[in-house]
Amino acid sequence: MSHHILRLDASARTEGSASRAFADAVLARLPEATVTRRDLAGGIAPIGEGYTSGTFKEPADRSTDETAALALSDALFAELAAADTLVIATATYNFNIPASLKAWLDQVTRRGLAFRYTETGPEGLLTGKRALVLRASAGTPTGAPHDFATPYLTFMLGFIGITDVTFLDVPAEATPAEIDAAVAALDHKLAA
């Protein structure tokens, strides 16, 4: 049985992106995996009124506008639900994640699909998945006092049930040697 990976590329840079090169190097080591790739560089539509009102209704009760507003969300959620592992290749902008990655999270974090409310609080429904976050940053390393990306992603992924999350950084202008060293560090970290 093949391992299914959903790869998200969130860097606005398509050429010369360190996070994309890092993800390429990591996934090259997993040739047997099936990879679905979603490039967020072109942007993801933000949620709007039709999305919001439609999520509180059963599919048969939604208006045509609400159904259309949820079509992208349905497609993005289906990609995530089908994956065993989520690989997020992202830059760090202004101490946090790119707006396109935030918009993706807004689209997939759906009550009744990604989480539900229980008597003891919210419960993530996407359990049993692993996330690997490959971050490129010029000055905001994982765990720095001004790193808002790592705690936000950790919380949001955990909220939807993905609690096995590994973060690894590369410099924003990483050389091929630095990418190779980061892949080796990832191998070591995952083995531990």
Residue 189, sorted as left (phi over 0), alpha (psi -120 to 50) or beta, turns out to be alpha
Amino acid (one-letter) located at 94: N
CA distance linking residue 128 with residue 182, whole number of Å: 25
CATH number of 4-191: 3.40.50.360
Residue-level pLDDT at 174 = 85
CA distance linking residue 101 with residue 116, whole number of Å: 22
Between 147 and 186, name the one with better pLDDT.
147
* Side-chain-side CA neighbours of residue 60 (13 Å): 0
Q: Which residues contact 138 (CB under 8 A, 6 or more apart)?
A: 92, 171, 172, 173
Q: Which residues contact 104 (CB under 8 A, 6 or more apart)?
A: 8, 10, 38, 40, 44, 76
Q: How many residues does the chain have?
A: 192
Beta carbons within 10 angstroms of residue 27's beta carbon: 18
Per-residue pLDDT tens over the stretch 16-63: 899 999 999 999 988 899 999 999 998 899 999 999 999 999 999 999
CA distance linking residue 174 with residue 125, whole number of Å: 36
Taking the alpha carbons of 8, 13, 14, 18 in that order, is the dihedral positive or negative? negative
Q: Tokens representing 58?
A: 């059963």
The pTM for the full model equals 0.93
Q: What is the maximal distance between C-alpha atoms in the chain? A: 55
Per-residue pLDDT tens over the stretch 75-129: 999 999 999 999 999 999 999 999 999 999 999 999 999 999 999 999 999 999 9
